[in-house]
Amino acid sequence: MMRIAPVVLSLLLIVCALALVTSQYRARELFAGLEVSQHEAKSLEAEGSRLRSDLGRASQPAIVEAAARRLGMRAINPERIIILPTSAADTAKAAFAPGKE
Amino acid sequence: MSLSALRPQARLRPATRGAGLRTVQGNATRAARDASRHGDLLAVKLSAWRSKLLLFTLFSAFAALSVRVVYLQGGWSTGFLQRQGEARYARTLPETPTRGTIFDRNGVVLASSVPARAIWANPEDFEADAKQRAQLARLLELSPEELRRRIANEDRSFVYLRRQLDPDVAQRVEALHISGVHTAQEFRRQYPEGVVTSHLLGFTGFTKVGEHGLEGVEREFETMLGGQPGLRHLIADRLGHTIEDDWLHEPVQAQDIALAIDDRIQYIAHTAVKQAAEANAAHAAAAVVLDARTGELLALANWPDFDPSRRKQFDPNQVRDRAVTDTFEPGSTLKPFSVAAAIESGVVRPDTIIDTAPGRLTITGRTITDDHPRGALTVEQVVAKSSNVGTAKIALQMPAQALWETLSAVGFGQVPQAALSGAVPGHLRPASTWRPVEQATIAYGYGISVSLLQLAHAYLVFARDGDIVPVSVLRTESAQTPTRVLSTQTTVKMRRMLELATSDEGTAPLARIPGYRVAGKTGTARKLRDGRYTDAYVSSFVGFAPVSDPHIVVAVMIDEPRAGRYYGGDVAAPVFGAIAAGTLRALQIPPDSPATQVAQATANGG
């Protein structure tokens, strides 16, 4: 028994040492992967903010207005607005001229 | 050469030498023969101290090395080697958070940081032929002379050729493969709305430690937008891959902010202000739109304006956010507060008759005049027709302190609580220092100075049933706790008077907009220059709509209209009308004017 123990223990030690090396290696590999992904996430975020900014620029009211005019659209004129009451209560409210406070 | 020549000759024995050697190597063989002839004689001559000296020298050298090794490794002076070792695997990198985005109330981007590139050169290494130089100069939008000047200084090893360049252009620069020209990553602040939001948002600038807001919202919300840079400690392997990291101190991530601004209303206000300023050949103009219910700032526009992307052309005159930082004597737009204070303290009622004839009033040697003299007016008409004499007479009937308290309660003379950079308190002296004539002039807006933002804010009192909330630049879900200034009854009376001012008999029929009932007050104040009133005017109009349930407050100021007309009712009121009409439409507020067509449920079958 006392003869086998050192052999078994040294084998165990070797196995442990190899496992340690492997796990260290794996950890570093994964870390490198994490770094790459984080970098990617950052550049995607930057791309996203660029696109949002472009969208903001494209949807500027000045541009929208110019496009609407090209299409022959006009701004809503309050004189052309007709209010449609939806219920009896609303009808009553609408009938009461909002001019009187 | 054989080894024999190098050996100590005394030890050589002829018997050990081969026959061949003797014939081939003449000199050596001869020397060996000499040695054999002299025998041990030479050995005696080499005294022992020589070898001892050699041994001692060698020992000393090793001893010195040992001492050095112990010194370096043994803990006495390990810093140098550790530093050198660490420099080969570890590095410390600052990590700057990307600046936060500014959104409007509907999520439209008003300012964001997008990736950009800086192009820099090392003049020592710079090598390019004429064609490459021309291409580089064209891509960088530099003149060939400017490019030559920048790379002329060979003492320097780092010169920026161009910063904040578009990544696509930077790629084309890289494709030229000019030695000594490099690119670096950075971020550029973009303002998609350009001139429309420039005063409100301000801009950023670079210092040694990074990007900082220098004006406007960028400056005011610097801590949220900028975050705090962190310091990261990295351990890299032989190939430069990071294998371990930890934070020396972690960065504070930048936050996005949502402003109360509505970019459509902002555009409407900006366009209206610009048109009015140009049509009236004005020195400057500004407009403020507030949400009457929450105190949110819906729009803030100034003219002259500036394009935040053309930094070289910045002129302090254009960059200043006049609506917030400049004060002026408000003139008649202040009258409603004096009248409200008088009604509140029970001195007058809306139908009290005030005799304004003959259009002038002299108090302790100073004369107050009306532009259009009128006879007896009711208090209502004093406001609607904007009589200085009438307002002065009303104000003189109440204690100065009561007037001061009302003016102070609505925010005059105090720095607005809104987070707007450079906001000024204006000027309102304590009532105890007022002389009687000053009490009269302050009542109609002279001898007091306010900013346009303060004026718009103060009108919240009339739009909100007598209480007031602070202006909010950020989008809020609920208004802050209101402070009561006037009673609801007084407010209702004031609203009636202010609506009368926009009727045909008032000073501002041009402020009316189809479909809605509006109320407001004009102001036409002479400008004070070097202590004297000049012929230059500040025309203003502050009002709210719809009167039946006020939703917005709009204040307009035109500084020095020089195209002939200068009355607030002629110059500023139409701008109010344009902005209010656009804002009510953008906010989809139902029309409340009796003229609006209401479809009959019966006629349309529901």
Contact at CB, A81 and B515, closer than 8 angstroms: yes
Residue B149 Cα distances to B125, B158, B183, angstroms: 15, 14, 19
B291 reaches A (C-beta below 8 A): no
**How do residues B375-419 score in pLDDT, each as one tens digit?**
889 999 999 988 999 999 999 999 999 999 999 999 999 888 888
In B483-502, the residues whose Cβ lies within 8 Å of chain A are 492, 495
B109 in contact with A, Cβ within 8 Å: yes
Is B378 within 8 Å of B354 (Cβ atoms)? yes
Q: What is the pLDDT of residue B601?
A: 42
What is the mean pLDDT of the segment spanning B127-148?
85
Average pLDDT over residues A44-52: 87
**Cis bond upstream, residue B304 (ω within 30):** yes
Which of the pair, B176 or B63, is modelled with greater confidence?
A: B63
Q: Do residues B490 and B340 lie in contact, with contact meaning Cβ atoms separated by under 8 Å?
A: yes
User: pLDDT at position A46, please?
Assistant: 85
A56, part of any domain: yes
Q: Out of B313-322, B491-500, B551-560, which region has the weakest mean confidence (pLDDT)?
A: B313-322
| A52: in domain | yes
Task: Return the SS3 of B471.
Answer: coil
Residue B9 has pLDDT above 60, yes or no: no
Stronger pLDDT, B46 or B456, i.e. the higher one: B456
pLDDT score for B379: 92
Contact A101 B548 (CB under 8 A): yes
- 3-class state of residue B240 by DSSP: coil
Q: How confident is the model at residue B284 (pLDDT cuts 50, 70, 90)?
A: very high
Q: Is the pLDDT of residue B296 over 90?
A: yes
Taking CB atoms and an 8 Å limit, are B192 and A53 in contact across chains?
yes
Residue B95 · residue B230 · CB < 8 Å: yes
A34-42: average pLDDT? 90
Q: Which residues of A touch B263 (CB under 8 A)?
A: 60-61
Yes or no, beta carbons of A98 and B594 under 8 Å apart: yes
pLDDT for res B595: 59
| Chain B CA closest to residue A93 | B598
User: At B117, is the secondary structure helix, strand, or coil?
Assistant: strand
Spatial distance between the Cα atoms of B502 and B332, rounded to a whole number of angstroms: 14
Active site residues of B: 332
Say yes or no: A75 contacts chain B, CB-CB below 8 A. Answer: yes
Indicate whether A32 pLDDT > 50: yes
Nearest Cα to B217, choosing from B205, B200, B232? B200
pLDDT at B152: 82
Residue B603 at interface with chain A, using a CB cutoff of 8 Å: no
Of the pLDDT bands very low, low, confident and very high (cuts 50, 70, 90), residue B142 is confident
Instruction: With CB atoms and an 8 Å threshold, state whether B597 touches A75.
Output: no
- Provide the residue range defining the domain that includes A10: 4-75
The Cα B335–Cα B271 span in angstroms is 29
Burial of residue B598 (number of CB atoms within 10 Å: 0-12, 13-18, 19+): buried
pLDDT at B6: 46
For B514, the closest of A53, A77, A97 (CB atoms) is A77
Q: Nearest residue on chain B to A98, judged by CA atoms?
A: B592
pLDDT at B412: 92
Helix (H) or strand (E) holding B311: none
Residues of A in contact with B95 (CB under 8 A): none
Q: How far is B606 from chain A (nearest CA, A)?
A: 7
Average pLDDT score over residue span A75-81: 71
Q: Are B34 and B17 in contact (CB under 8 A)?
A: no
Residues of A in Cβ contact (< 8 Å) with B604: 84
Q: Which residue segments constitute the domains of chain B, with CATH numbers given?
A: 94-258 (3.90.1310.10), 263-586 (3.40.710.10)
Residue B330: is it exposed, middle or buried by C-beta count within 10 angstroms (0-12/13-18/19+)?
A: buried
* Neighboring chain B residues of A85 at a CB cutoff of 8 Å: 598-599, 601, 606
State the number of CA atoms in the 13 A half-sphere of B259 facing the CB: 32
Q: What is the mean pLDDT of chain A?
A: 81
Measured between alpha carbons, how far is B423 from B259 in angstroms, rounded to an integer?
Answer: 17
Which among B193, B548, B601 is the nearest to A85, CB-wise? B601
Flag if B113 and A57 touch (Cβ within 8 Å): no
Say if A11 falls within a structural domain: yes
For residue B26, pLDDT beyond 60:
no
Q: Quick: pLDDT tens for B222-279.
A: 999 988 888 888 888 777 777 778 888 888 888 999 999 999 999 999 999 999 999 9
Sort out which chain B residues have CB atoms less than 8 A from A56's CB and list them: 108-110, 112, 192-193
Closest-CA distance, B157 to chain A, in angstroms, reads 29
- Give the pLDDT confidence score for residue B38 in this predicted structure: 56
Top pLDDT among B213 and B12 is at B213
CA angle B544/B547/B552 to nearest 5° reads 35
- pLDDT tens-place string over residues B582-599: 999 899 888 887 755 565
Taking only the tens place, the pLDDT of each residue in B35-65 is 555 556 556 667 788 889 999 999 999 999 9
Of A31, A81, A91, the CB nearest to B601: A91
**ipTM reported for the complex, 2 dp:** 0.71
Q: Which residues of B touch A83 (CB under 8 A)?
A: 590-591, 596-599
A90 pLDDT higher than 60: no
B101 closest CA partner among A39, A56, A61, A58: A56
Res B468 pLDDT > 60: yes
- Using a pLDDT cut of 70, give the percent of chain B over it: 90
Of all residues in chain A, what percent carry a pLDDT higher than 70? 80
Q: CB-based contact (8 Å) between B588 and chain A?
A: no
Please indicate, yes or no, if residue A64 is contained in any of the structural domains: yes
pLDDT, one tens digit per residue, over B337-369 is 999 999 999 989 899 999 888 888 888 888 888
Q: Flag whether A10 is in a domain.
A: yes
* Separation in Å, CA B176 to CA B127, B128, B133, B148: 12, 10, 10, 17
Predicted pLDDT at B422: 83
Option in A46, A61, A99 nearest B263 (CB):
A61
Residues of B in contact with A60 (CB under 8 A): 192-194, 196, 263, 267
Q: Cα distance from A76 to chain B (closest Cα, Å)?
A: 8
Burial label for A63, CB within 10 Å (0-12, 13-18, 19+), is: exposed
**Has residue B72 got a pLDDT over 90?**
no
- In this model, does residue B370 exceed pLDDT 90? no
Contact A49 B112 (CB under 8 A): yes
Model confidence at B207: pLDDT above 60: yes
Q: How far apart are CA B551 and CA B291, in angstroms?
A: 6
Task: Inspect the interface and report whether the beta carbons of B596 and A78 lie closer than 8 Å.
Answer: yes
Judge whether A85 is closer than 8 Å to chain B, CB to CB: yes
Q: DSSP code of A77? A: -
Q: With contact defined as beta carbons under 8 Å apart, do B557 and B539 qualify?
A: yes
Give the residue from chain A lying closest to B104, CA to CA: A56
Domain count, chain A: 1
- A49 is a domain residue: yes
Whether residues A99 and B591 touch (CB distance < 8 A) is answered with: no
Q: Return the minimum-mean-pLDDT range out of B55-64, B303-312, B323-332, B500-509.
A: B303-312
Residue of A28, A53, A79, A100 to mutate when probing chain B, most B C-beta within 10 A:
A53
**CA B265 to centroid of chain Cα atoms:** 21
Q: Which of B257, B256, B276, B109 is nearest to B197 (CA)?
A: B109
pLDDT at B18: 45
**For B289-349, where are the alpha helices, taking DSSP H only?**
316-319, 322-325, 335-344
